Amino acid sequence: MWWFYRKGPSGFSGASTAEEVTAGVDGHLLVAVITGATSGIGLETARVLALRGVRVVMAVRNVSAGLMAKDAIVAKTPDARIDVLELDLSSIASVRRFASEFDSLKLPLNILINNAGVMTRNCTRSCDGLELHFATNHIGHFLLTNLVLENMKSTCRDTGTEGRIVNVTSAGHVMTYPEGIRFETIRDPSGCKSAVRSLNDFIAYGQSKLANILHTNELSRIFKEEGVNISANSVHPGLIATNLFRAFGRTIIAAFFNTVGRIVRRSVEQGAATTCYVAVHPQVKGLSGKYFANCNIASPSSQASDAELAKKLWEFSLQTVS
């Protein structure tokens, strides 16, 4: 486990916590939207950014749980500035409603953290007929990003402050089909079913997280081409002790995470560190299109670095949300 505590060029390691990596950061002039902020690393990210003065908009599927999470944060940080808005990333209509409601708040937007994720079984379809992992983990965030982008652009122009988009991915970027992303199974989830259903569901989850990195890379390319002062980076939080894998019950995948995974998994406080680091730390200014792990730049898989696949995914995503 020596590698877990070894500090990288940033001065932080896998053992660093979100509070440690944001020490000294003053975020009182910043506004951040965080998806999936009611539990796990999303909640810890919201808590720590609010602690540093950032105004946080919690984009949550369950508003009651969001309000409870807000109360828990305010109880520890009385001057925390937090708004709670409903967002179901698996529904294109819900994403559009959220964007409209956020716009009505008349807030600037400096930071967008696409954190929420789902892992389910049986190749479930979304209400729009898409494979649920892809719909929630990628398409919902893709559309959300596009809908708030003009706000981010105007905010960075008006304030001179760099906008930051952080896409939270996972080790799933290496658990993919050989060809990277099977677009035919996204609109026809029955194509990914087999006798080893839980494994295929995990691969479908991996495809959606691979899509997060490809989305990040294409966003970064477009920003550089347009000369926009917004960065887009993806982060791998590590294996966290959260409820993400609860849907798998007693399966071989669940058994792996409860045995082998127990050795390498980290706390929520450590898991949120890389997200918070990339979102607000001064060291990250000017860096875009990067993949971060343990609060340091890392190398994703070759598929995650495929520029042509990123462009293909971008076009497919645009067609899907149109």
What's the CATH number where 228 sits?
3.40.50.720
Query: Average model confidence (pLDDT) for the chain?
Result: 88
The 10s digit of each residue's pLDDT in 194-233 is 434 455 777 788 889 999 999 999 999 999 999 999 999 9
**CA within 13 Å, CB half, 129:** 5
Q: What's the token pair of residue 15?
A: 């053992």
Q: Which residues contact 100 (CB under 8 A, 6 or more apart)?
A: none
Residue 249 pLDDT exceeds 90: no
Q: Using a pLDDT cut of 70, give the percent of the chain over it.
A: 81
291 vs 285: CA distance, rounded Å = 14
Give me the count of residues in the chain: 322
**pLDDT at res. 193:** 53
**pLDDT at res. 301:** 86
**CA within 13 Å, CB half, 213:** 30
Give me the amino acid identity at 103: D
205 catalytic per annotation: yes
More confident residue, 256 or 68: 68
More confident residue, 147 or 250: 147
275 vs 40: CA distance, rounded Å = 12
Provide the domain limits for residue 48: 2-321
Nearest CA to 147 out of 115, 101, 187 is that of: 101
**pLDDT at res. 99:** 98
8 A C-beta contact, residue 11 and residue 90: no
Q: Which of 5, 205, 277, 291 is catalytic?
A: 205
Q: Report the domain count for the chain.
A: 1
